[in-house]
Structures are given as C-alpha cells and as structure tokens.
Amino acid sequence: MTRDDAKNEARHRVWDLLAERGAAPPDVHGTIPNFAGAEHAAARLAELAVWQEARVVKAVPDKPQAPVRVLALEQGKLLYVAVPKIAAEKPFYELDPSTLAVAPAEAAVPKLAAAFARTVDTDDMPHVDLVVCGSVAVNRHGARLGKGAGYSDIEVALLQEAGLISQTTTIVTTVHDLQIVEGDLPETDHDFSVDSIVTPTQVIECGPPRRPAGIVWSKLDPAKIAAIPALATRAGRRHFER
C-alpha cells in the first residue's frame, strides 16, 4: 500500500465512523467534517491562554471552523481566512472587526466575505499569533490528515515562507472526538503537525512541532501550481531569479 493509499484509507475510516454515529452529515465523505458540537469545540478553544493572548488569527474557511471565526471577530481579533481553494492572486481575506459593516456571523462565511473583505497576500499581513486548521483525522502526536487537496499545507507553507509564523507558532485543530485516531498516521515532508487538538469534550496537547520551512515545490505538480494563482506567481519569480 502506498502512503497516499494509507492516507485515503484512514480518511474513509473516519468519514464512515462519523456518518455511522450521526456525528456528521451523511454526505461527510470528501469533506473536512462539519461535526456535531463544533460550537462547543470553539468555546473550549476560546478558554485557552493561547487563544486569549492571540491578536491575529489565521483560520481555514471550512464549515466546522465557522464558530471559531465568529468568536475571533466577536472578541476583536484580526482574522485572516484563506480564500476557498486558495483561488485568488491574493489568497487571504482580511477581516478586521473594527471596520466590519456586517455581523460577525455573516462575515465569517467565506462566500459572503468575498463581497466586502479585502484580499491580501502575505506581504500585507502582520505576524500571525495562532493558526486554526480543520482535519479529517488527527492523532495524539499531532499528525493530521486533511481531505486530500493539500490546501491547508499550502496555506501554512505560505505563512511559514513569509516569516509570518515560526516553529513556535501554535497550530490548533478543532475536531470531533471520533476524529482522533490511535496509532500512527502517514506523513510526508510537506505535512505540518498540530500543537493542540480541541474537541467538544477535551484539549489534547501534542508533541514537538513538525512543519516545513516553506513551500515544498518538489511535491507540487504543474497542474496544482497553475490552479493556485499565489503559487503560480511565486513559481514565476523562482524561474526568473534563476
């Protein structure tokens, strides 16, 4: 079995379990699970010192992290959310609660934010205090699997390469308890680990951080680069600099 096959097998085990237990919608397969209790996980995250001390938060645009995004805006944090599928030249929405003309619950929906939010690239962003990602599966050592598209890995790599996060920046994932798997999960050199796992019922602190220094170009095929404008631009610069 290849590493990719092993990742897919682990994803499907979790998707099947969530659907069977009614902890996520029946059509959960192929998604970052919109798990039952996402609001409770967000509330538990908001109790942590790392959240309370954060002034700048970067979060994924997935549905289960919507309560996290709402809380960030309600609590006055400057929020950056990746454009879905990173499908813009400037790949992040900037949501500043001090200037929002809509309610946080509306601003936290990427499709709605697209109508008013400023899009920025990493050169227009401040240092990020906390990164919140979604996961399909995660283990107690911080290894995680997304849905297989690699968007979260690229988002973190863009921040890391720009010097906006470091090895000491906390990365947290909010998930259902059923998404925590025992044993190892397959990892590659472009995968990052999470420092904390927050569920509706518990907080798990993980092992030492593991994340790439930046974009691992050797793991990106030309089609993926072409589909993500921020990568295509950076690839062009690399070619020119050579």
Query: d(Cα 22, Cα 19) in Å, to the nearest integer?
Result: 5
Among 66, 61, 82, 60, which residue's Cα sits nearest to residue 229? 82
Please state the domain extents for the chain. Answer: 3-241
- Write out the two tokens for 66: 């919507």
pLDDT of residue 224: 86
Catalogue the E-assigned strands of 169-225.
170-174, 180-181, 196-198, 203-205
Determine which helix (DSSP H) or strand (DSSP E) holds 113, and give its type and residue range: helix 110-113
For residue 15, what are the contacts with CB-CB under 8 A and spacing of at least 6?
24, 28, 29, 30, 33, 136
DSSP letter for 55, please. S
228 φ/ψ angles, rounded to the nearest 5 degrees: -120, 100
pLDDT of residue 68: 98
Mean pLDDT of residues grouped by 10 in the chain (242 residues)? 87 97 96 98 98 98 97 98 91 95 93 91 97 97 91 92 92 98 85 95 93 82 87 75 52
pLDDT of residue 187: 84
Tens digits of per-residue pLDDT, 116-163? 899 999 999 999 999 999 999 999 999 999 998 888 999 999 999 999
Q: How much is the pTM? A: 0.94
pLDDT of residue 140: 96
Instruction: Kindly provide the b/e burial profile for residues 15-54, where b requires at least 16 CB atoms within 10 angstroms of the residue's own CB.
Output: bebbbeeebbeeebbebbbbbbbbeebbebbbebeebeeb
| Token pair 């996980």 in the structure block, residue | 41
Q: Say which CATH class 3-241 falls into.
A: alpha beta
Task: State how far Cα 142 lies from the chain centre.
Answer: 14
121 neighbors 230 (Cβ within 8 angstroms): yes
Task: State how far Cα 154 lies from the chain centre.
Answer: 10
pLDDT of residue 241: 55
Query: d(Cα 198, Cα 21) in Å, to the nearest integer?
Result: 19
Q: Which residues pair with 80 in a beta bridge?
A: 58, 94
